[in-house]
Amino acid sequence: MPRPDISLVSPAYRESKNLPVLYDRIKAVMDDVGRSWEWVIVDDHSPDDTFDVVAELANTDPRVRGVRLARNYSSHTAITCGLHHARGGCAVVLASDLQDPPEVIPELLAPWEAGAQVVWAVRGKRLGEKRRTLFFARLFYIFVRNFVGMKEMPATGADFFLLDRRAIDGFCQFGETNVHVLALITWMGFRQETIVYTKQARLHGESAFNFEKRVQLVLDCVTSFTTRPIRAMGLIGLLVSLAGFVLAGRIVWEVFVLEQGPPEGYASLMVALLVVGGVQMLMMAVLGEYLWRALDEARRRPRFLIEAHVGLDPAAESMPAAARREPDFVSES
């Protein structure tokens, strides 16, 4: 099968109702674009009949290809899997819930055709989102841009993007298990451009991206791209030590110069112990996050396992497993 010009990659979790609607819209847009295309759908082990819908679409249209992961990993792992299977000259990553309208794809293609290798669709507005979600999203990107130091990351976020073939190949060279995909692509460099679009409300269902997964992404982003927490620990330790030396000097002054006798007070002693002990435990927790991720990488476990697939070209499975950190085998659908 000849390689397509454009690969569309969509992670999917409980999207059985949305995928047929999205397929019709993608087909209409891509037919107007006039380039050959494929759609790679990665089912993140949905508990519903999402993969059955993917298989039905693949049987109807050979341009649709599907993968079902062996367990629920995360949307970022599903995106990684999809990019490893994308064969096109570029890949457009868009959500399966219709929040990323496929009608924006021609706008992404224009900068790519002009030479851009990474094109971000930056959210101008986000329809149908709760204020709490918008607040935490804004807080996260402020944190990433200012604390982690990724000034190039769009201030309002961008889950909808295009990668050139060279950027895809570069991305697939990374074998990190715990990583924020968007932060990694930003860190990679290449010639990056942005467009602005309006993120739509979900057509069916609710988002499975809960608070725990948000915290996990923050930790992955911090531990993968900055050493500032560790350096902050050193600074805090220095300040606490200096405070201890100052207090010790004051006690020596009061005892030997002012002859006031040693200070008394159980409460002040307990406050000092609790503060120092709390700071030490916080520092150990930060070190533990870094050490755990180092251990996770040292195990060399596969980044994802594939339970089933439909419509995949066997030639696409000849990619070295070491380069993509996935097993050498896939089970037949």
pLDDT, greater one: 332 or 156? 156
pLDDT, greater one: 322 or 46? 46
Q: Is the pLDDT of residue 113 over 70?
A: yes
Q: Is the pLDDT of residue 224 over 80?
A: no
pLDDT given for residue 183 in this prediction: 79
Please measure the distance between the N-terminal and C-terminal CA atoms of the chain and give it in whole angstroms: 20
Q: Is the pLDDT of residue 313 over 60?
A: no
Cα gap 88→140, rounded to integer Å: 32
In the chain, the percentage of residues whose pLDDT exceeds 70 is 64
CA 76 to chain centre: 5
pLDDT given for residue 283 in this prediction: 75
**Residue 14 · residue 46 · CB < 8 Å:** yes
Region 66-82: mean pLDDT is 87
pLDDT given for residue 317 in this prediction: 44
- Give the type of residue at 55: A
Q: Is the pLDDT of residue 326 over 60?
A: no
pLDDT given for residue 327 in this prediction: 36
pLDDT given for residue 285 in this prediction: 75
Residues 6+ apart with CB under 8 A from 205: 14, 15, 17, 18, 97
pLDDT, greater one: 243 or 98? 98
Q: Supply the mean pLDDT for the chain.
A: 76
Q: Is the pLDDT of residue 32 over 50?
A: yes
What secondary structure does DSSP assign to 7-54, as a single string? EEEEEESS-TTHHHHHHHHHHHHHHHHTS-EEEEEEE---SSSHHHHH
Q: Is the pLDDT of residue 61 over 80?
A: yes
pLDDT given for residue 316 in this prediction: 45
pLDDT given for residue 25 in this prediction: 92
Report the SS3 class of residue 150. coil
295-313 burial string, b = 16+ CB within 10 Å, else e? eeeeeeeebbbbebbbbbe
pLDDT given for residue 162 in this prediction: 93
Residue carrying the six token digits 């990684």:
80
Q: Is the pLDDT of residue 331 over 70?
A: no
pLDDT given for residue 9 in this prediction: 93
Region 224-229: mean pLDDT is 71
Region 223-236: mean pLDDT is 72
299 band by pLDDT with thresholds 50, 70 and 90? low
Q: Is the pLDDT of residue 63 over 70?
A: yes
Residue 107 to residues 29, 161, 165, 189, 267: CA-CA distances in angstroms?
Answer: 11, 11, 18, 21, 65
pLDDT tens for each residue of 141-185: 676 666 666 666 666 666 789 999 999 988 888 877 767 778 788
Region 178-193: mean pLDDT is 81
Q: Is the pLDDT of residue 36 over 80?
A: yes
